[in-house]
Amino acid sequence: MINNRRGWVEIVEAVVAILLVAAVLLITVNKGYIGKTDISEGVYKIELSILREIETNNSLRMEILEAPLPVEWDDFPTGVKDKIITRTPTYLECMGKICQLYEGDNPEAESVPCNLEEKIEKDVYSQSVIISSTLGEVTEGAVYRRLKLFCWTK
């Protein structure tokens, strides 16, 4: 009987040792992630709210539609740039870009890439919205632009 009990004790000791080794490995592997906060969801919400404000303001939409393409941040329409700057929280830095949506403004064509030209050595969060001259259906002669917002922490 005593030998039988001793076998069970050794099995329990082995299981506890394995659990301890596994716990140490998990803590070591996740060490880089402990204490970090994920701000991506908050940044995306802020970007979308800024873009929605611009998208629903007719004067800002017209500034975007009348700008020669592509429009980098330095040459951004004043009203749109001011709106982005005033709505950006202090812990973020944001830049925008206005691009052609389709090759030759043809809705049947493939979408044109709209990337940030400047290299940023941080996590960059981006959202975009389509600005068109007509609201609703795709019509012949309509003008389409992509307004893309790029944000990162300071």
CA distance 48 to 45: 5
Mean pLDDT of the chain: 84
CA atoms within 13 A on the CB side of 41: 2
56-77 pLDDT, tens digit per residue, is 998 999 999 988 888 999 999 9
Place of tokens 């700057």: 85
pLDDT at 30 over 70: yes
Does this model's pTM top 0.75? My answer is no
Q: What residues contact residue 52 under an 8 Å CB cut-off, 6+ apart?
A: 129
State how far the alpha carbon of 121 is from the alpha carbons of 37, 59, 105, 152, 153, in Å.
18, 34, 33, 10, 11
Would you call 121 helix, strand, or coil by DSSP? Answer: coil
pLDDT at 1 over 60: no
CA distance 50 to 29: 38
Give CA torsion, residues 28, 30, 34, 39, to 10 deg: 160
